[in-house]
Structure 1
Amino acid sequence: MKKGILILLAMMLAVGLLSGCSSPSTPETPEEQSEEVGDAVLSIEDDFGNTINFGNPPEKIISLAPSNTEILFAVGAGDKVVGVTSYDDYPEEVLDIEKIGDFNGINLERIIELEPDLVINYGDGVTEENERLLEAGIQIAGFEPESLQEVYDTIIKVGKITGHEDEAKELVEEMTSQEAELAEKIEGLDKKTVFYEIWHEPLMAAGPGSFVDELINRAGGENVAADADGEYPQFDLEQLIERNPQVYITANDLPEKTADSIKERPGYSEIDAIKNDRVYLLDGNIMSRPGPRIIDALKLIIEAIHPEINN
């Protein structure tokens, strides 16, 4: 599992767009396989080359990331979820599901006691824990989407393996339609340079290859960290000042972090986003979960970059 995204999810309380010439992503359905429940195998391949097979949809599922939990509920498989992390809080029904750990560690013994048919990881999981689960006869699927298209693909796969592929396809169609509507809203608007703060001590940015970077681009922004080293790199203050973003975005992940506290940081007064009061703190849960609400995240970034569309 990538260290950067773990920091992003934990620190943003989750575990915690389109430019004028862009076009919305087209959902890609995984290769068609037999789906006749009970007679043939429900089969998918996860993001790490593992094949997951079921003769019937799994009756008990444990989700080890809020984004995967939201996908399960969105496609209609929420009633099969018997365990989630302590950071899961959406939809409201999740609050009543047993908590079996967080990104600092899971209660492996309790997971095995619950006898799930399927455990869904964010990323490829921990090798030793995976081995224990497999020895107990529990199948594991791992997903790590870092783009809108990969989120769509993950939704389709989760829908398929849980016996809800039709619902998953409907959801993806709705999301791509919303994506297209947002693209139309910002068509022809001037691009703005943007910095997205993942963390502040040390300063970390949303870099190339991250889903936040893609959302910035699709929102009609130009990510000043687009050439940084990795998805969630450290970013020097001097470099931030030099690149002088017009818009500064981060998550409302800490009570003490406010627009005013950001403006008061040493050196920040030289940045245009600070001078022009263009600092935005967005919903940390929505911004950190590559799942069904990623279109909401796109909308939030669009409104930060182009507030004029709401006038």
Structure 2
Amino acid sequence: MKKGIVLLLIMMLTVGLLAGCSTETETVQPEEQSGAVDGNAEETMDDFGNTIIFDNPPQRIISLAPSNTEILFAIGAGDKVVGVTSYDDYPEDVLDIEKIGDFNGINLERIIELEPDLVINYGDGVTEENERLLEAGIQIAGFEPESIEEIRDTILRIGEMTGHKQEALELVDEMASKEEEILESIEGLEKKTVFYEIWHEPLMAAGPGSFIDQLISLAGGENVANDAEGEYPQYDLEQLIERNPEVYLTANDLPEKTVDSIKERPGYSEIDAIKNGRVYLIDGNVISRPGPRIIQALELIVEAIHPELKN
């Protein structure tokens, strides 16, 4: 994912992806990535080939993405977090933690002053900033999961490097169990064609390879943008009308974005989802963050695609 797209996603979805540039990497399972070194030292590898080694679990952590912050709190490492982004708002305890950045950038000097043992990026970060942090003796880990499987893998590795391996395992098992329960509930139900709007000016879709695309598929939907180029491509209105989705999904990320405002857009009256009142605004903080609430996001999409389940 290119830096410009990431920053755009930050501004419109408030997911806080401050990391910027990233590259595609093959996710390696945790058992292949970690192990004891030098006696009690624990070694873990991030998504970008960086090896993180701690003799003892880090006591001061800065998270540069809300999704990673949610992971840290969910596995019991929240009390070690000393810095987060302006977008971090869950769980409630995070509101009292110092804010050290937003989509315009991070306060590098303040981060160094806070003397963290570990900084966790979304993506591989900015090279110059990484170099400054490493010079200050601060270890850096970067993760960029784009599927439920990769999110679980990220949780396990963050659990390992923070000394919360067992809690991470329990969380992953809980997520898998809930996912299985949700998928069983939609077995045999008719698939619906779905469009997920990332942004509207210009129109952008959740494309192939994005975790939202996977969620739509798992939820019993067929993403009409699943053959587009890239994870978050621009999407022509004419093509949207031609594909004619039965369900239209987007995040409730802007006050001016409402079901009515979407229905009133030029050309939208021709789309079945608009005609039949199948436009749904989903909690942007849940649907847009690749963290432990991703199964809740799956449940929200299932409810939108299959409202009959509520009856």
**Equivalent residue number for residue 9 of structure 1:** 10
**Alignment partners' CA distance in 2, 1:293 and 1:10:** 20
- Tell whether the 8 Å contact from 1:273 to 1:279 is kept in structure 2 after alignment: yes
Contact 2:16 2:64 in 1 (8 A): no
- Residue 169 of structure 1 aligns with an amino acid whose one-letter code is L
Number of aligned residue pairs: give it.
Answer: 300
Which residue in 1 is equivalent to 2:208? 208
In the alignment, the residues of structure 2 paired with residue 292 and residue 7 of structure 1 have an alpha-carbon distance, to the nearest angstrom, of 23
Aligned partner of 1:244 in structure 2 is 244
Deviations 1:99-129 (A, max 9, x none): 0011220000000001100000000000000
Aligned to 2:263: 263
User: For residue 160 of structure 2, what is the aligned residue in structure 1?
Assistant: 160
- Residue aligning to 2:93: 93
State the partner residue of 1:219.
219
The secondary structure found in structure 2 opposite 1:67 is helix
TM-score (norm 1): 0.93
Q: Distance in 1 between matches of 2:87 and 2:214?
A: 25
What residue is the counterpart of 2:24 in the other structure?
none
Which SS does the other structure have where 1:31 is aligned? helix
Question: What is the aligned partner in structure 2 of residue 66 from structure 1?
Answer: 66
Q: 1:33 to 1:255 in 2, by over 3 A?
A: closer
| Structure 1 position 310, deviation (Å) | 1.2
Shift, 1:263, TM fit: 0.4
Counterpart position of 2:281? 281
Cα distance, 1:33 vs structure 2 = 4.3
Moved more, 4-13 or 196-205: 4-13
Q: CA–CA distance in 2 between the matches of 1:167 and 1:120?
A: 18
Summarize deviations over 1:145-177 as a string: whole Å, max 9, x none: 000000000000000000000000000000000
Moved over 2 A (4+): 1-10, 13-16, 27-36
User: Closer, same or farther in 2 for the Cα pair 1:61/1:149, shift >3 Å?
Assistant: same
Task: Determine if contact 1:8/1:288 at 8 Å carries over to the other structure.
Answer: no
- Using the alignment, how far apart are the partners of 1:287 and 1:111 within structure 2? 28
In structure 2, C-alpha distance between the alignment counterparts of 1:7 and 1:165, rounded to whole Å: 34
How has the CA–CA distance of structure 1 residues 288 and 5 changed in structure 2, closer, same or farther, with 3 Å as cutoff? farther
2:168 aligned counterpart, secondary structure: helix
Residue pair 1:60, 1:118 contacting (<8 A) in 2 also:
yes
Name the amino acid aligned to 2:48.
F
Q: Shift of the alpha carbon at 1:41?
A: 1.5
SS in 1 for 2:129: helix
Q: Percent identity?
A: 76
SS at match of 1:30: helix
Shift of 1:32: 7.0
Q: Give the whole-Å Cα distance in 1 for the aligned partners of 2:10 and 2:169.
A: 26
Alpha-carbon distance between aligned partners in 2 of 1:85 and 1:5, rounded to the nearest angstrom: 15
Provide the rounded CA distance (Å) in 2 between the counterparts of 1:7 and 1:30. Answer: 35
Structure 1: runs of 5 or more not aligned: 17-26
* Aligned mates of 2:131, 2:33 — CA distance in 1: 29
Residue identity opposite 1:74 in structure 2? A
Please list, as runs of the form range in 1=range in 2, the aligned pairs for 1:38-57 lying within 5 A after superposition.
39-57=39-57
Structure 2: gaps of 5 or more residues: 18-27
SS class of match (2:93): helix
Distance 1:138 1:278 in 2: 49
Q: Deviations over 1:5-34 (max 9, x none)?
A: 442233123338xxxxxxxxxx95432744
**1:30, 1:157 within 8 Å by CA — same for their partners in 2?**
no
- What does residue 21 of structure 1 align with? none
Residue type matched to 1:270 in 2?
E
Residue matched to 2:78: 78
What residue in structure 2 maps to residue 117 of structure 1? Answer: 117
CA shift at 1:2, angstroms?
Answer: 3.6
Residue type of the partner of 2:12? M
SS at match of 1:227: coil
**Letter of the aligned partner of 2:255 in structure 1?**
P
How far the C-alpha of 1:35 sits from its partner, in A, is 5.0
Question: Conserved in 2, the CA contact under 8 Å of 1:30 and 1:153?
Answer: no
